[in-house]
Amino acid sequence: MINLFNTQIESLSIHRVGNKSRNENIFLSANPFQLNDEITPLIKEYFLKPFREKEESYYHFTHETDLEFHPLHEIATSIFTDPRSIHEQSKKITTLLFEQSAHPHIKSGEVYIVYFENVLLDNEKTDAIGIFKSELKHDFLQFEERESILEMIVQQGINLNKLDKGALIINRNREEGYKILSVDSNRYDTKYWLENFLGVEVLADENFYTKKYLKFCQNFAKDVVLPAEDKKEEVMFMNRSMDYFAKNDDFEETSFLNSVIENPDLIPEFKNYKTDKGQKYQIEDLTSFPIANKAVTAARKSIKNTINLDTNVQIKMDFVNPESAEKFVEKGWDEERQMYYYLVYFNKEVKS
């Protein structure tokens, strides 16, 4: 898990890239930007806020031949080896971005190259290189007193509440292509930032596999368990799945299936579904992996655990104590009313 609370900006270089197809130029600053006490907290929040708010999905540099031929990987290594070289290296980074800015859709904008210290990754301090780009300009009003009236002036600038594009190259796992986080708010060309410029792929680690496998289970519950059983069993399947992931350090597929699927007929259905859909989630050949607790915690918040009834009643299951729903909720059919019902057992009502 990444913690950016105490992260500090050690160096900031600002350049500008235009669009080559429109004959726009590149502008490279001769010197680093001199930060002050007024700008530093604002610009730090602008750069880092998106990475605190989004789910952690790491990337890493890749190259079909060898990482030594990956230009950004080599530049990052040079900077981490000698942080004092970052301004000169920032010019190379900006030039690389300019070379990829030839498509008519690519917007011009300012490029910020930052050296960060005190990045906390998995409770260990390290450094990081930030590459950010602001693209969209927004209108804002300024006011100026002129004799007896207050004059309104329209100006343009960037919105400090929204970062357009950004990447954090974290000084970890150099030989595997570093650990990288990316933000792209203006996805007018999805290949431009991640593929063409950064040259990265998703880092398939325990966090990635845990998140992907739980998402796969969620869709299996919706597409297979619900039609074969009912809404309660769909929710209960995810209840049991979450319980397995929460209570185990390692995932083993056979043990998982025996724990979460009560109807034996659904086990071959699960394997067939995985054969058909596994490639989409990049888990087609995955049968064991370490479980990432942070991915399980994030999944709890996103997976629906509520049964919505057409009588405007909701029954909410508990992912923390899934056995409660197994023991104390029963589904039945009322012949007189010709309606289904849920019978819920309890000792007393609990104040919320």
Which residues are CB-neighbours of 286 under 8 A, at least 6 positions away? 209, 213, 253, 278
Nearest Cα residue to 59 out of 146, 131, 159: 131
272 φψ region: left (φ > 0), alpha (ψ -120 to 50), beta (else) = alpha
Cα 146 to Cα 111, 140, 153, 156, 314: the distances in Å are 36, 19, 12, 21, 62
| Res 348: pLDDT | 84
Indicate the burial class of 302 (C-beta count within 10 angstroms; 0-12, 13-18, 19 or more): exposed
Quickly state the pLDDT bin for 231 (edges 50, 70, 90): confident
Range among 112-116, 119-123, 217-221, 254-258 rated most confident: 112-116
pLDDT at residue number 109: 95
Taking residues 107-133, report their average pLDDT. 95
Q: What's the mean per-residue pLDDT of the chain?
A: 90
Q: Does residue 168 have a pLDDT over 90?
A: yes
| pLDDT at residue number 320 | 59
Residue with tokens 């989004």: 54
Residue 197, pLDDT score = 95
pLDDT of residue 316: 78
pLDDT at residue 324 in the model: 67
pLDDT tens digits, 41-96 = 999 999 999 998 776 789 999 998 899 999 999 999 999 999 999 999 999 999 99
Question: How is the chain split into domains, by residue range?
Answer: 2-203, 207-344
Task: Write down the pLDDT at residue 28.
Answer: 97
For residues 98 and 305, what is the distance between their CA atoms, to the nearest angstrom? 47
User: Is 314 strand, coil or helix?
Assistant: strand
Helix, strand and coil in the chain, % to nearest 5 = 40, 30, 30
Q: What is the pLDDT of residue 346?
A: 82
40 or 147, greater pLDDT: 40
- Give the list of residues 6+ apart from residue 139 with CB closer than 8 angstroms, or none: 154, 155, 156
Token readout for 20 is: 């080559």
Q: Which residue has the tokens 């010709």?
A: 338
